[in-house]
């Protein structure tokens, strides 16, 4: 475990929650503000430099062997692990989904609904990565 150096005490205001994360836009580790904190690996963060918002990516991401696909797959597996007993819902455009629903997409396979963005958009994590899917659309 790496302990982060404690910043000198400030009495003015509570420090905003921030953490070091790899910025997908800056392509380097940057200080990020936590936007939503769900779990250690599915938090959304905002880069303090470019303002870009994205999912938390470990600051050591660019180091080591570049295997983004495996990382995504490991993330997907980890999300799916506690939900394997759930019934897989076949994905349709008209379907309504909730967070942690396990869906089965004809192209992408099994996915986990991580975020319901609106009545018509859900964020789903598949083996190959995160996808934005339509939901709740009227059937034609």
Of 11-19, 42-50, 58-66, 122-130, which segment contacts Zn ion by CB under 5 A?
Answer: 42-50
The answer to whether residue 27 forms part of the interface with Zn ion (CB under 5 A) is no
Least CB distance to Zn ion at residue 50 (A): 3
Contacts 24+ apart (CB under 8 A), 42-47: 42/79, 42/114, 45/19, 45/21, 47/21, 47/23
Least CB distance to Zn ion at residue 39 (A): 22
Burial status of residue 2 (CB atoms within 10 A of its CB: 0-12, 13-18, 19 or more): exposed
The answer to whether residue 49 forms part of the interface with Zn ion (CB under 5 A) is yes
Of 23-31, 81-89, 101-109, 127-135, which segment contacts Zn ion by CB under 5 A?
Answer: 23-31
Q: Single out the residue of 38, 41, 50, 62 in contact with Zn ion (rule: CB under 5 A).
A: 50
- Size of interface with Zn ion, in residues (CB under 5 A): 7
The answer to whether residue 134 forms part of the interface with Zn ion (CB under 5 A) is no
The answer to whether residue 47 forms part of the interface with Zn ion (CB under 5 A) is yes
Of 26 and 134, the one with the shorter C-beta distance to Zn ion is: 26
| Chain contacts with Zn ion (rule: CB under 5 A) | 23, 25-26, 47, 49-50, 52
């Amino acid at each position: 475990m790496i302990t982060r150096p404690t910043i000198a005490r400030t009495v003015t205001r509570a420090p905003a929650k921030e953490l070091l994360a790899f910025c997908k836009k800056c392509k380097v580790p940057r200080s990020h503000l936590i936007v939503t904190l769900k779990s250690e690996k599915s938090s959304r963060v905002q880069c303090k430099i470019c303002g870009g918002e994205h999912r938390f990516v470990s600051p050591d991401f660019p180091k080591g062997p570049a295997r983004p696909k495996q990382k995504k797959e490991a993330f997907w597996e980890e999300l799916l692990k506690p939900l394997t007993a759930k019934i897989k819902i076949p994905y349709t455009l008209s379907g309504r989904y909730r967070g942690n629903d396990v869906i089965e997409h004809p192209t992408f396979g099994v996915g986990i609904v991580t975020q319901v963005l609106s009545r018509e958009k859900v964020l789903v994590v598949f083996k190959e990565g995160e996808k934005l899917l339509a939901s709740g659309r009227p059937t034609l």
